[in-house]
Amino acid sequence: MGKREIFLEINGIPNQFLLEGLRRPFTKYFRKLLLQQYDRFLFQRVDHIVTVCSVFRDNLVKNYGVRKVILAPNGIFIDKVKLMSRNVAKRLLGLDKKKRYCIYVGALVYYEGLEFLIEAFQDFCRSYSTNDVVLLILGDGNLRRKLQFQIAPAYKKNIIFLGYIGREKTRQYIAASHIGVYTPQSVSYGYDGQRGGSPLKIIDYLAAGRPILVPKSKYYAYVESEQIGFLYEPENSKSFGDALNKLIYDDAKCDKLGENARRYAESHLDWKITLSHLLAILGKEKK
């Protein structure tokens, strides 16, 4: 048998366990050291390392001494995502046509910043005295009960947990929404302390033609330059609420940013584009 190259894919910080937010700093410190040594040992024994975003690549180069990393962001088969109007999607799902929806899709776990999202969304409702904006949360995880207890009685109808939903219905819920939100926590790596990555939720939002609301960061600079959403100051509840308020009631703005979002997904997020560097390497190895 001929020689085969060994590839290692890093989808997040090595090691993802470091994002769990352990309560005891002493235990967390030694666990971090142990995992980092394990990662360094592993990295020396593979031929290629693949990661999903420039933030992770730079972390590997700077903190682990990895010389070369293949960048292969997550993508989508864009031609399979059919656009749907908000009103049609609302009707199919039985949602209130007078309500305005923003949506989070993903795991209900610590490092996704959901505790901040719940708090900031309630502050938004309180500050702007609004009762017609609803946050849909699709997904499940070990934080669900804690997040539900975090909601004040006055806003129980404004934050709806839907649990796990099938792929087709998830796309319908995204289509029914005005905005897709993502509120990752600050972490100890990356350009400016923000958790980067190539989140599938953002890809789904953009492919469906929906603008996004994400934290201000060098990693998310494309959001403003491509005019596909709004940015807020990381972990700043007022900034989040102000940005949400500027967009959620402006149908024309949502539609325009949504059109830009779909075009961005078509030109940047199709799997044929995102995997081009990796496929080139595999092609050379095959020869």
Total number of domains in the chain: 2
Tell me if 274 is assigned to some domain: yes
Residue 71: inside a domain, yes or no? yes
54 found inside a domain: yes
Spatial distance between the Cα atoms of 115 and 118, rounded to a whole number of angstroms: 5
- Kindly state whether residue 97 falls inside one of the protein's structural domains: yes
What's residue 1's pLDDT? 38
Answer yes or no: are the C-beta atoms of 185 and 116 closer than 8 Å: yes
Average pLDDT in the 123-147 region? 94
Domain span including residue 51? 7-75+270-286
pLDDT computed for residue 43 by the predictor: 83
Q: Are residues 98 and 120 in the same domain?
A: yes
Q: Are residues 53 and 16 in the same domain?
A: yes
pLDDT in tens, 175-234: 999 999 999 887 665 656 666 667 899 999 999 999 999 999 888 889 999 999 999 999
Flag whether 123 is in a domain.
yes
Same domain flag for 155 and 229:
yes
Within this chain, do residues 150 and 11 fall inside the same structural domain, yes or no? no
Asked whether the predicted pLDDT for residue 3 surpasses 60, the reply is: no
Residue 63 included in any domain: yes
112 & 28 share domain: no
83 and 70 belong to one structural domain: no
Global pTM? 0.86
Q: Are residues 211 and 280 in the same domain?
A: no
Is 156 in the same domain as 255?
yes
Angle at 105 between CA 209 and CA 184, to 5 degrees: 100
How far is 88 from 261, CA to CA, in rounded Å?
19
pLDDT at 153 over 90: yes
CATH number of the domain encompassing residue 230: 3.40.50.2000
Task: Please check whether residue 2 lies inside any domain of the structure.
Answer: no
Are residues 206 and 168 both part of a single domain? yes
- Could you list the beta-strand ranges (E) of 66-202: 70-71, 100-105, 133-138, 159-163, 179-181
146 and 26 fall within a common domain? no
**Residue 1 within any structural domain of the chain:** no
pLDDT at 20: 56
> Hey, is 159 helix, strand or coil?
strand
Inter-residue contact 233 to 216 (CB < 8 Å):
yes
Regarding whether 40 and 127 lie in a shared domain, the answer is no
Phi/psi at 199 (5° precision): -65, 130
What mean pLDDT do residues 130-154 have? 95
Instruction: Answer yes or no: do 151 and 217 share one domain.
Output: yes
